[in-house]
Amino acid sequence: MQIVEKESEFESALKLCQSRAKSAFGDDRVFVEKYIQGAQHVEFQVLADGKKAIHFGERFCSIQRRHQKLVEEGPWLSDEKRMEIGALVCAGAESVGYKGLATFEFLRDANGDFYFLEVNPRVQVEHTVTELITGYNLVELGIRVAQGEDLPVAQEDITWRGHAIQCRLNAEDPKQFIPSPGRLWDCHFPSGFGIRCDTHAHPGYEMPGCFDSLLAKLLTWGHDRDDAVRRMRTALDETVITGVEHLIPLHRRIMDEEDFMARDITIRYIEEHPDLLG
Cα–Cα distance for residue pair 265/263, rounded to 1 Å:
6
**Span 123-138, pLDDT tens digits:** 999 999 999 999 999 9
**Span 205-228, pLDDT tens digits:** 999 988 889 999 999 999 999 999
pLDDT score at 210: 85
pLDDT score at 178: 93
Cα–Cα distance for residue pair 88/114, rounded to 1 Å:
11
What domains can be seen in the chain, in order of their start residue? Answer: 1-33 (no CATH), 36-146 (3.30.470.20), 162-278 (3.30.470.20)
User: Among candidates 61, 88, 84, 85, which has minimal Cα distance to 72?
Assistant: 61
Reported in sequence order, the residue ranges of 128-188 that DSSP labels E, i.e. its strands, are: 163-170, 182-183, 186-188
Mapping DSSP to helix (H, G, I), strand (E, B) and coil, where does residue 100 land?
A: strand
Cα–Cα distance for residue pair 89/67, rounded to 1 Å:
23
Cα–Cα distance for residue pair 180/214, rounded to 1 Å:
11
Q: How confident is the model at residue 16 (pLDDT cuts 50, 70, 90)?
A: very high
Averaged pLDDT, 90-95 = 98
pLDDT score at 224: 98
State how far the alpha carbon of 132 is from the alpha carbons of 48, 68, 196, 219, 238, in Å. Answer: 20, 22, 9, 9, 21
Cα–Cα distance for residue pair 46/93, rounded to 1 Å:
8
State how far the alpha carbon of 20 is from the alpha carbons of 17, 37, 62, in Å. Answer: 5, 24, 27
pTM: 0.91
Cα–Cα distance for residue pair 78/160, rounded to 1 Å:
12
Catalytic positions, please? 122
**Span 60-70, pLDDT tens digits:** 999 999 899 99
Averaged pLDDT, 48-69 = 97
The mean pLDDT value of the chain amounts to 96
Q: How confident is the model at residue 141 (pLDDT cuts 50, 70, 90)?
A: very high
- For residue 149, pLDDT beyond 90: yes
pLDDT score at 34: 87
pLDDT score at 56: 98
- For residue 2, pLDDT beyond 90: no
Question: What DSSP character marks residue 179?
Answer: B
User: Among candidates 273, 197, 275, 278, which has minimal Cα distance to 236?
Assistant: 197
